[in-house]
Amino acid sequence: MTSERALDWVDGIAHRLIHHAARRAPDSLADRLEEEWLADLASQRGPIQRLRFAFGCCWAINVIAHEHAVAALPVASSPTGQGHFIHHANGSGDSPFFTARTITFVLVAILHAALLYGLATGLGPKFTKIIESPLVPRIRQEFRPEARSRRFQSGTFPAP
Amino acid sequence: MAKRDRDVRMSLQTLKVLEAFLENPADELSGADVLQRCRLASGTLYPILLRLESAGWFVSRWESIDPSSAGRPRRRFYRLTPTGLRRASEVFAGFGRGVLA
């Protein structure tokens, strides 16, 4: 019973996410995308897959809206001034083979790997050398009984 | 929003989607079908489907059911157009795969 309630709860969140995402789509696509995504959401098995699907739709709408906006922009420097539109060729900043998301993911992964490697090998000892410990150990001189007796006599050292 | 044929970005994900359709070019696939076959995230798949549709490589249509009687929303089916089939085959042939060459 509890798992059914949890599934309903996840379904509700996924539906709301998709509805919210579709509202952010261009007007000509909003209704179509919402119906299409809700139908495809129903084919997803399990709550995690459904949530993942819904979050993916939220990501997708950013890309779709961006491409739609770019495709609809008139070219200001067009010789005729009308009838020319920018076509979304390779996306802004995308390489021919990888999407911007893939490139970002790879860069973040490389950064993490480099940081971990650096800390595991070279950077760790360097940091311990640079950052000096506030507790500097000092070796005390060897205890000498005659020095102690002199202190007793002069009264600088309290008697036990 | 129609795009020129040559403006389609050939990312690895786009190639995966095209490969799924090229397995049986006459088949119609919904987004959920393609997700299952290609193991792509929905955030990656749907922009690709829309991009290929606006470029004329795909056509799409609604499933012919009554949502109220079926108890679920209609699915949207995508299919390769003759242009899409030709261009996709050329792309794969260019990679040395020769899927439908």
Q: What is the pLDDT of residue B57?
A: 94
**Are the beta carbons of B72 and A42 separated by less than 8 Å?**
yes
Give the structural domain span for A24. Answer: 2-89
Closest CA to A40 of B74, B37, B19, B28: B74
pLDDT tier at B9, thresholds 50, 70, 90: confident
**Mean pLDDT over residues A129-138, rounded?**
68
State the Rg of chain B over Cα.
14
Q: What is the pLDDT of residue A89?
A: 40
Q: In the predicted model, is pLDDT for residue A19 greater than 60?
A: yes
Rounded-to-integer distance, Cα A55 and Cα A29, Å = 18
Q: In the predicted model, is pLDDT for residue B99 greater than 60?
A: no
- CATH code (residue B79): 1.10.10.10
Which residues of B fall within a CB distance of 8 Å from A39? 30, 32, 63, 72-76
Does one domain contain both A19 and A67? yes
Does one domain contain both A25 and A67? yes
Does one domain contain both A84 and A13? yes
Rounded-to-integer distance, Cα B12 and Cα B74, Å = 29
Q: Of the candidates A44, A64, A97, which has its C-beta nearest B50's C-beta?
A: A64
Closest CA to B91 of A97, A45, A140: A97
What token pair was written down for B78? 């995508």
Preferred mutation among B50, B65, B77 to probe A, highest tally of A CBs within 10 A: B50
**Are the beta carbons of B47 and A67 separated by less than 8 Å?**
yes
Does one domain contain both A84 and A118? no
Q: Of the candidates A37, A89, A98, which has its C-beta nearest B12's C-beta?
A: A98
Does one domain contain both A57 and A105? no
Does one domain contain both A74 and A100? no
**Cβ-contact A22, A61 below 8 angstroms:** yes
Does one domain contain both A126 and A65? no
Distance in Å, alpha carbon of B19 to nearest chain A alpha carbon: 15
Does residue B5 lie in a domain region?
Answer: no
Does residue A14 lie in a domain region?
Answer: yes
Q: Quick count: other Cβ atoms within 10 Å of Cβ A32?
A: 15
Q: In the predicted model, is pLDDT for residue B32 greater than 90?
A: yes
In angstroms, the Cα distances linking A35 to A44, B62, B73 are 15, 10, 6
**Are the beta carbons of A56 and B41 separated by less than 8 Å?**
yes
Does residue B53 lie in a domain region?
Answer: yes
Q: Quick count: other Cβ atoms within 10 Å of Cβ B56?
A: 17
Distance in Å, alpha carbon of B101 to nearest chain A alpha carbon: 22
**Mean pLDDT over residues B2-20, rounded?**
79
Q: What is the pLDDT of residue A76?
A: 45
Q: In the predicted model, is pLDDT for residue B1 greater than 80?
A: no
Q: In the predicted model, is pLDDT for residue A129 greater than 90?
A: no
Q: Tally the residues of chain A.
A: 160
Of the two residues A111 and A144, the one the predictor is more confident about is: A111
What token pair was written down for A82? 């009308």
DSSP A51-68: HHHHHHHHHHHHHHHHHH
Does residue A22 lie in a domain region?
Answer: yes
Which residues of A fall within a CB distance of 8 Å from B76? 32, 35-36, 39
**pLDDT per position as a tens digit, B45-98:** 999 999 999 999 999 999 998 888 888 889 999 999 999 999 999 888 887 755
Q: Tally the residues of chain B.
A: 101
Does one domain contain both A30 and A67? yes
Look at residue A72 and give its three-state secondary structure.
Answer: helix
Helices (H) and strands (E) in chain B, counts: 5, 3
Rounded-to-integer distance, Cα A55 and Cα A42, Å = 15
Q: What is the pLDDT of residue B52?
A: 94
Q: What is the pLDDT of residue A33?
A: 93
Which residue of B lies nearest to A51 if distances are taken between CA atoms?
B42
**pLDDT per position as a tens digit, A28-76:** 889 999 999 999 998 888 888 999 999 999 999 988 988 888 776 654 4
Does residue A143 lie in a domain region?
Answer: no
Q: What is the pLDDT of residue B92?
A: 87
Q: How many domains does chain A have?
A: 2
Does one domain contain both A60 and A75? yes
Does one domain contain both A42 and A110? no
**pLDDT per position as a tens digit, A75-109:** 444 444 443 333 444 444 444 556 677 888 889 99
